[in-house]
Structure 1
């Protein structure tokens, strides 16, 4: 069986750039009996709870030759193709490591958990290949204090080939793939004070305990930061949709202004609503094109992503959230025309809470960006209530990674396109301080209705007002389009929602959008 690395663009910071180290297979070093220790999630949680009562002691970057690595020299390091752990195991899992250095100066320790016993996985320079001028600088047989992170391979796409399924590298970042996906959006263990007063805090996973269980893998992790410690459990089930059951137990050293649970990170450069701002032959460039929320009453909301001129933040309050996620809904290659990046194959990520998370809000942060190398989209759950020093919180949820297509055969029509442009009537001067939005819906009961059906666009606008609205069925199609002209004062932040109703019922999901009239 051969290993395969997924198609990954080399221009994304942290996660994507770390993937430049192509890591491939080796045997686990045998451990002496006295080196094995019993393991449990509860014991790990107790350890991290106790650590929260101690002053924060940041990890010291190792003073060694890899401390001088930059982007170009880091690319000259590869894990040896005969060194992957677990080759002698009863299943098809392989564990592969990332080298320390460059963006990853702090050591991460890895442990194998087999039959409830723990063995630390040691790494040395013998596990890696060093190319170019770097080869002469690296000591032979030199033990490493840790690694930058790791990934797990498994026969995801073909039974005769091991493909990358999940990787953990950099702070608390991780990402995964469903079948036939390439890497795009990612997740984090926790978000703390993201774009609020003061600097954002990035706690890190410092230790991982990894176990195999047939077709699934179990990863436990220690989270450490100035304000928080935590114990995490990830139960990973790869497939067409790769699922992770996550439990996060958090223990706070200090008060936190804003806590972000199940944070997702992605990139949105341009699509139909802001295409004119970019001189690019490609029709769309994004890892995700929308935030999807299923509200406590079951109503779905689709919020197209944007690339604003100024930092934008939106809160979607809910008494008891059903799900949220960053989705790549547009799946046609012709919508991107990029055979290298393959944005049409990027995974959607959905967060499904387990148990009642209580009141709170989904927060969406959109950061201005001129380059697709920048991850400029963040989404997470903000629970209601202050977080004080000494608090403990636990959250459980399932992450779903894959294509996750919209259900056009369900009762509600789904948004398939959002476009924007100058307001007013074509052929005459555009309306000032106004914007036109064209939103297309597909599927559901709406698709079977004739063009003269008695339907209404239901629109709400906060911070502005509707100038005009038109609803029509598109020619030679079962899709329907709503065209809105919305006006507002200069610098106004305008929140818009729209759905189509008829026959005393809602016929579409809700389209939501934020427009800033700058």
Structure 2
């Protein structure tokens, strides 16, 4: 079935913090007919498969203590003033460095459920270094809760020499689940919960890359960001025949308390179904749901000088954001390493899915045998409304991109912000599915395979080469009347545009150049003011939209 439409305006707002710019860009819509912790594929083929909006999440087989009990605790916490009751590691462990902390290793033979031969095993992290705050970890067996006491006997300490005993109620820094995800009988890491509300997972054959969080509160806000933390976990003992495992978490912070249910199913893609109930203690200006955190240093379109000083052509855990809306619009936004803090928001109605992706999975584009950026997972977020879908109905996707001088710190944050503000005393209930997987979009439309960029010495002109691939355009002969709908907003104008068949890839190439426009008034008086230009483009054949919308923010 062909898709016919014009390119419709999709609200995008870009802000360079310090200069206060806002700009609008557009997208192409179609009328509807979607640091490593070790673990172990060329650029992905994009398949034609629908992405369902509503999924039936399997109910875990649990008697006795369950998600409702965690929710009661969260609601009780929210009804009282916030109290940080987390225990911390002794000073001997908080003052050590990363290498010393990594030298403290869990003894794998003491993994939870290893002797029982169950399909999942649990290993624990010792508190220390940056992970000095501890969490309590429990297991649920036959509906009854059993706490896992801390013990030095669970660890080897390497060159560290701790003195004296540590309390059994100290807790752990976090934990990780292991399963035979890559080879039968070999239990590799599947998902890790470590630090505040952070966690990350891998699918078969992948290595750890981007992370997720339980919640983002006032990220990049003038009031300061808040990091609520998981303070207690309950892990449900699996049956011998189970291919998934259920765990619960209690979250608490100054502004909000919450209960989480995670159902983890590892495999060729690792699926995590998440159910959440939140109770704000106070009004929250910006509540970010299903946050993802990643690192982007540079790739093929970067003009960073460091790119020419490193043998690796690209360095990133993720290279862009994809999202699909209910009106058929699909958008790809390549990440940048900006000169100043950059915040982008995309207004969305009826969000179908969004993903922080590592779309480029070709080893030759990284040439790094140690970090294997080519094997990092993509993370897809799909709302799974069960009762109330208003939280996902309208809002915006926000991307925060932070300047970074290296690859050692995460500098990308993306999350969903509902249109309605979270207010004190209300209950928020929502659910979503996470797929830690390949970057396959599941859509038949052509996609932006690569973005290349050059600029003039005075930085006032930019030239872009965007290569599109996909079955939707590869069958079109070179004489086809393929064109691009291209828009520039925020102080730039198009000086060149060309669309041509790429005889090497079989796809189509968009080449265009823009130059910075002189802007009157305040923009001329304040250096750096209004120096972000928003671009968007999609390929069309007459009225037929052939590709996703390529969207980009240019700093002049």
Using the size of structure 1 for normalisation, the TM-score is 0.88
Aligned pair count reads 476
Residue 378 of structure 1 corresponds to which residue in structure 2? Answer: 413
Distance in 1 separating the partners of 2:141 and 2:87: 30
Using a 3 Å threshold, how does the CA distance of structure 1 residues 446 and 397 change in structure 2: closer, same or farther? Answer: same
Which 10-residue stretch deviates more, 107-116 or 184-193?
Answer: 107-116
Asked if the contact 1:59–1:106 (Cα under 8 Å) also holds between the matched residues in 2, the reply is no
Distance in 2 separating the partners of 1:181 and 1:79: 22
Asked if the contact 1:275–1:284 (Cα under 8 Å) also holds between the matched residues in 2, the reply is no
Say whether 1:46 aligns with 2:72.
Answer: yes
C-alpha displacement of 1:405 = 2.8
C-alpha displacement of 1:98 = 0.2
Distance in 1 separating the partners of 2:88 and 2:484: 61
Using a 3 Å threshold, how does the CA distance of structure 1 residues 432 and 54 change in structure 2: closer, same or farther? Answer: closer
Distance in 1 separating the partners of 2:356 and 2:477: 33
Distance in 2 separating the partners of 1:432 and 1:246: 45
5 Å-filtered alignment, 1:391-402, equals 391-402=426-437
5 Å-filtered alignment, 1:360-439, equals 360-406=395-441, 411-422=444-455, 433-439=460-466
Using a 3 Å threshold, how does the CA distance of structure 1 residues 255 and 284 change in structure 2: closer, same or farther? Answer: same
Using a 3 Å threshold, how does the CA distance of structure 1 residues 298 and 90 change in structure 2: closer, same or farther? Answer: farther
Say whether 1:447 aligns with 2:482.
Answer: no
5 Å-filtered alignment, 1:316-395, equals 316-355=346-385, 356=389, 357-395=392-430
Question: Out of 530, 541, 548, which is 1:509 matched to?
Answer: 548
C-alpha displacement of 1:138 = 3.2
5 Å-filtered alignment, 1:116-515, equals 116-132=143-159, 134-135=160-161, 137-139=162-164, 143-211=168-236, 212-213=238-239, 214-278=242-306, 279-355=309-385, 356=389, 357-406=392-441, 411-422=444-455, 433-463=460-490, 464-489=492-517, 491-515=530-554
C-alpha displacement of 1:129 = 0.8
Using a 3 Å threshold, how does the CA distance of structure 1 residues 330 and 181 change in structure 2: closer, same or farther? Answer: same
Distance in 2 separating the partners of 1:140 and 1:501: 69
Q: Secondary structure at the match of 2:369?
A: coil
Q: Secondary structure at the match of 1:166?
A: strand
Using a 3 Å threshold, how does the CA distance of structure 1 residues 328 and 62 change in structure 2: closer, same or farther? Answer: closer
> Please, which runs of 5 or more residues in structure 1 have no aligned partner?
1-15, 22-36, 424-429
Using a 3 Å threshold, how does the CA distance of structure 1 residues 169 and 271 change in structure 2: closer, same or farther? Answer: same
Distance in 2 separating the partners of 1:342 and 1:237: 24
Distance in 2 separating the partners of 1:432 and 1:147: 51
Say whether 1:93 aligns with 2:126.
Answer: no
C-alpha displacement of 1:142 = 5.6
Q: Secondary structure at the match of 1:126?
A: helix
Using a 3 Å threshold, how does the CA distance of structure 1 residues 110 and 331 change in structure 2: closer, same or farther? Answer: same
C-alpha displacement of 1:227 = 0.5
CA RMSD of aligned residues (A): 1.9
Q: Secondary structure at the match of 1:143?
A: coil
Distance in 1 separating the partners of 2:211 and 2:103: 25
C-alpha displacement of 1:68 = 3.2
C-alpha displacement of 1:63 = 6.4
Asked if the contact 2:210–2:295 (Cα under 8 Å) also holds between the matched residues in 1, the reply is yes
C-alpha displacement of 1:41 = 0.8
* Bigger relative CO (Cα 8 Å, ≥ 6 apart): 2
After superposition, what is the alpha-carbon deviation per residue over 1:190-240, rounded to whole angstroms, capped at 9, x for unaligned? 000111112110000000001125110101000010000000000001000
Q: Secondary structure at the match of 2:109?
A: coil
Distance in 2 separating the partners of 1:343 and 1:77: 26
Residue 133 of structure 2 corresponds to which residue in structure 1? Answer: 106
C-alpha displacement of 1:404 = 3.2
Asked if the contact 2:94–2:130 (Cα under 8 Å) also holds between the matched residues in 1, the reply is no
After superposition, what is the alpha-carbon deviation per residue over 1:423-471, rounded to whole angstroms, capped at 9, x for unaligned? 5xxxxxx686221111000112211111121121101221122222111
C-alpha displacement of 1:256 = 1.1
C-alpha displacement of 1:338 = 0.2
Using the size of structure 2 for normalisation, the TM-score is 0.82
Asked if the contact 1:20–1:75 (Cα under 8 Å) also holds between the matched residues in 2, the reply is no
Residue 69 of structure 1 corresponds to which residue in structure 2? Answer: 96
Distance in 2 separating the partners of 1:382 and 1:292: 16
Asked if the contact 2:262–2:272 (Cα under 8 Å) also holds between the matched residues in 1, the reply is yes
Asked if the contact 2:89–2:132 (Cα under 8 Å) also holds between the matched residues in 1, the reply is no
Q: Secondary structure at the match of 1:171?
A: coil
Using a 3 Å threshold, how does the CA distance of structure 1 residues 492 and 68 change in structure 2: closer, same or farther? Answer: closer
Using a 3 Å threshold, how does the CA distance of structure 1 residues 165 and 471 change in structure 2: closer, same or farther? Answer: same
Distance in 2 separating the partners of 1:465 and 1:76: 56
Using a 3 Å threshold, how does the CA distance of structure 1 residues 93 and 443 change in structure 2: closer, same or farther? Answer: same
Using a 3 Å threshold, how does the CA distance of structure 1 residues 69 and 59 change in structure 2: closer, same or farther? Answer: farther
Which 10-residue stretch deviates more, 87-96 or 347-356?
Answer: 87-96
Asked if the contact 1:461–1:496 (Cα under 8 Å) also holds between the matched residues in 2, the reply is yes
Using a 3 Å threshold, how does the CA distance of structure 1 residues 68 and 276 change in structure 2: closer, same or farther? Answer: closer
Q: Secondary structure at the match of 2:431?
A: strand
Using a 3 Å threshold, how does the CA distance of structure 1 residues 46 and 80 change in structure 2: closer, same or farther? Answer: same
Asked if the contact 1:148–1:170 (Cα under 8 Å) also holds between the matched residues in 2, the reply is yes
Using a 3 Å threshold, how does the CA distance of structure 1 residues 482 and 208 change in structure 2: closer, same or farther? Answer: same
Question: Out of 100, 109, 127, which is 1:82 matched to?
Answer: 109
